[in-house]
């Protein structure tokens, strides 16, 4: 995945000029999904909230197509967690980190699925 395609910003930070802004406080189901344990919310295919699942997938497609996304987190005033640290920062109680992690995870799955299709399903990771 292209580094810096997903950026987490706090509510007092400005988005990048060349990115799409996603305000997390406007996303239905985000908090109720991420209030669960990691084992529950990290299994994207088992999410019951289809609206939030679709929202994550749509952001992942945008990133996959080369767009940059700034996730505006309303639980943090400032965020300096970079994309490569999302996975290592999951213990923080930040919905933005969890959202970025899930978008990144889905982009990786899209890339893997495309590689498998291009090699008649014989591609192995």
Query: Each residue of 70-113: pLDDT tens digit?
Result: 999 888 888 888 888 898 898 888 999 999 999 999 999 999 98
122 found inside a domain: no
Provide the pLDDT for residue 4: 84
Rounded-to-integer distance, Cα 77 and Cα 74, Å: 7
Residue 79 CA, distance from chain mean position: 15
Provide the pLDDT for residue 122: 59
124 found inside a domain: no
123 found inside a domain: no
Rounded-to-integer distance, Cα 90 and Cα 37, Å: 11
75 found inside a domain: yes
Provide the pLDDT for residue 124: 56
- The total domain count for the chain is 1
64 found inside a domain: yes
15 found inside a domain: yes
User: Where are the alpha helices (H) located in the chain, listed in sequence order?
Assistant: 30-34, 38-41, 50-64, 95-118
| Upper half-sphere CA count for residue 39 (Cβ side, 13 Å) | 0
* Phi-psi region at 13: left, alpha or beta (left = phi > 0; alpha = psi -120 to 50): beta
The parent domain of residue 81 ranges over: 6-115
- pLDDT tens per residue across span 20-72: 999 999 999 999 999 989 999 999 999 999 999 999 999 999 999 999 999 99
Angle, in degrees to the nearest 10, between helices 50-64 and 95-118: 60
Provide the pLDDT for residue 123: 52
> In a 3-state reduction of DSSP, which class is residue 17?
coil
Average pLDDT over residues 8-17: 93
120 found inside a domain: no
């Amino acid at each position: 995945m292209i580094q810096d395609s997903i950026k987490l910003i706090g509510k007092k930070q400005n988005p990048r000029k060349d990115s799409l802004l996603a305000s997390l406080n406007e996303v239905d189901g985000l908090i109720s999904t991420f209030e669960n344990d990691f084992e529950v919310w990290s299994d994207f295919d088992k999410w019951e909230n289809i609206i939030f699942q679709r929202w994550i997938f749509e952001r992942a497609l945008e990133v996959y197509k080369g767009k940059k996304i700034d996730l505006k987190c309303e639980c943090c005033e400032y965020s300096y967690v970079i994309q490569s640290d999302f996975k290592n920062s999951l213990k923080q109680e930040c919905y933005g980190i969890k959202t970025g992690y899930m978008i990144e995870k889905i982009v990786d799955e899209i890339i893997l699925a495309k590689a498998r299709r291009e090699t008649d399903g014989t591609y192995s990771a």
